[in-house]
Amino acid sequence: MRLLHTSDWHLGRSFHGVGMLDAQRSFVDQLVRAVSTHAVDVVLIAGDVYDRALPGVDVVRLLDDALVRLTEAGATVVLTSGNHDSAIRLGFASRLLERGGVHLRTRLADLDQPLILPLEPGGETGTESAVPSGGAAGAQGASGAAVLAIYGIPWLEPRLVADQLGAEPASHFTVTRAATDLIRADVARRSAHGTVHSVVLAHTFASGGISSDSERDLSIGGVGAVPLDLFDGFSYTALGHLHGRQTLSPQVRYSGSPLAYSFSEANHSKGSWLVDVGKEGVTAVSELLWEAPRKLAVLRGPIAELLESGDHAWAEDAYCQITLTDAQRPQQAMERLRARFPDTLVLGFDPQGGAAKASTSYSTRLAEAEDDLSVCCGFLDHVRGRDADDAERLALAGALDNVRLREASL
């Protein structure tokens, strides 16, 4: 059986004011092709499907289209909610959707209710309640044939779920431990009747993960990171929340987001994980890369060098974040840069060679001003980081003269 691990679609998100819906449609196209090309049996989506709790109509329509196409391509879908999703809204009609092959795990009550998939011929597929102690064998049947049990841990807000899980004190660690303990107990009960290989989806920040600028901090309400050993014993843990694809251990991985949502992800290689599972357990994990619709460029230097150097030609059709290092802030910097880099979205200034000026406070410079013109020019320099040129000094001097003439006439 082949699984595809993905997460953090953030449907409806924008990138520095640029809408991403077309790029997200392109990702869905790639995902559906990958399901067919790589004979994927199950698509695992580990939370943050939407970017906000109340997504727009066109965003909901895109998810609907994605789920229909994935199931038509032959895949079963298992989906959990993340901290950006509304678990209640995302989980609407979950029992009905199961009939079409889409299994939502957004409720605490479903933590120990896995999707059971046979790993040997003749087994039955199903979603079951926890097997009672000493109870029936469930989907693996009396034969003890190997099965895959897929569990989903939705985003757990400690302050809201700690009491229900009996987790004290309320923290990300205690609620996640309570959730994994429930799952581990269910796996143990099922294993008494046959071989069970367990896959767990979880939307959380696990220790050792590398974050980026586009994730929402999870630390409010308790310690943010949970220890990796909470996932010991599971055949594979499909994590969501961090946007960089990364391996924390051979069995615990983040798929990352399919698209870059901040310039801190400019060097990310976006993709997913293909996980092969047989009756002996996980047999292989391989990367599956997504094609980015637009490159990201993070450029830095003096404006003249950025505009003239051939080294930056590759960035002319990229989304750009540019930091200018000129000692004085160049005039019409954004307009000039967009003449070469039309999709410059972020412009910053880090003047080099201006340390002496920066070390002098504005109030000190104001006190040392020789005349009214020096005060005006000093203010202009203070707010924009560039001295007044000759034309500006002439205009300011003329304005001051007009003020003096008006005062003299009163």
- Structural domain boundaries, residue 232: 2-289
Judged against a pLDDT cut of 50, whether residue 196 lies above it is answered with yes
- Average pLDDT over every residue of 152-164: 94
Do both 270 and 364 map to the same domain?
no
- Average pLDDT over every residue of 169-176: 93
Which of 289, 313, 328 marks a domain boundary? 289
- Average pLDDT over every residue of 160-170: 93
**Nearest Cα residue to 80 out of 183, 194, 164, 187:** 183
Do both 175 and 235 map to the same domain?
yes
User: What CATH number is attached to the domain comprising 244?
Assistant: 3.60.21.10
Query: What distance in Å separates the CA atoms of residue 218 and residue 348, rounded to the nearest whole number?
Result: 28
pLDDT in tens, 316-362: 999 999 999 999 889 999 999 999 999 999 999 999 875 445 555 66
Structure confidence at residue 380 as a pLDDT band (50, 70, 90): confident
Structure confidence at residue 192 as a pLDDT band (50, 70, 90): very high
DSSP label at residue 120: S
Number of domains in the chain: 3
Do both 305 and 219 map to the same domain?
no
Do both 323 and 367 map to the same domain?
no
Judged against a pLDDT cut of 70, whether residue 221 lies above it is answered with no
What pLDDT sits at residue 312?
A: 97
Structure confidence at residue 127 as a pLDDT band (50, 70, 90): low
Do both 91 and 137 map to the same domain?
yes
| Pairing between β-strand 76-80 and β-strand 102-105 as defined by DSSP bridges | parallel
More confident residue, 214 or 71: 71
Query: What is the per-residue DSSP string for 372-400?
Result: HHHHHHHHHHHHHSS---HHHHHHHHHHH
Query: What distance in Å separates the CA atoms of residue 38 and residue 18, rounded to the nearest whole number?
Result: 32
Do both 213 and 302 map to the same domain?
no
Which of 228, 263, 289 marks a domain boundary? 289
Which of 65-74, 144-153, 220-229, 324-333 has the least mean pLDDT? 220-229
Helix (H) or strand (E) run with residue 402 in it? helix 390-409
Judged against a pLDDT cut of 70, whether residue 133 lies above it is answered with no
Which of 269, 289, 309 marks a domain boundary? 289
Judged against a pLDDT cut of 80, whether residue 203 lies above it is answered with yes
Do both 285 and 311 map to the same domain?
no
pTM: 0.81
Helix (H) or strand (E) run with residue 126 in it? strand 126-127
DSSP label at residue 50: B
pLDDT in tens, 246-279: 999 999 999 999 999 999 999 999 999 999 999 9
In this structure, what is the dihedral angle of CA atoms 181, 238, 250, 287, given to the nearest 10 degrees? 170
Burial class (CB in 10 A: 0-12, 13-18, 19+), 2: middle
Query: What distance in Å separates the CA atoms of residue 164 and residue 160, rounded to the nearest whole number?
Result: 8
Do both 314 and 180 map to the same domain?
no
Q: Are 240 and 7 in contact, with CB atoms under 8 Å apart?
A: yes
Do both 173 and 322 map to the same domain?
no
| pLDDT, averaged across the chain | 88
Do both 377 and 408 map to the same domain?
yes
DSSP label at residue 330: P
Structure confidence at residue 135 as a pLDDT band (50, 70, 90): very low
Do both 54 and 124 map to the same domain?
yes
What pLDDT sits at residue 278?
A: 95
Do both 352 and 404 map to the same domain?
no
What pLDDT sits at residue 44?
A: 98
Q: Which of 92-106, 139-153, 214-228: highest mean pLDDT? A: 92-106
Identify residue 185 by its one-letter amino acid code: A
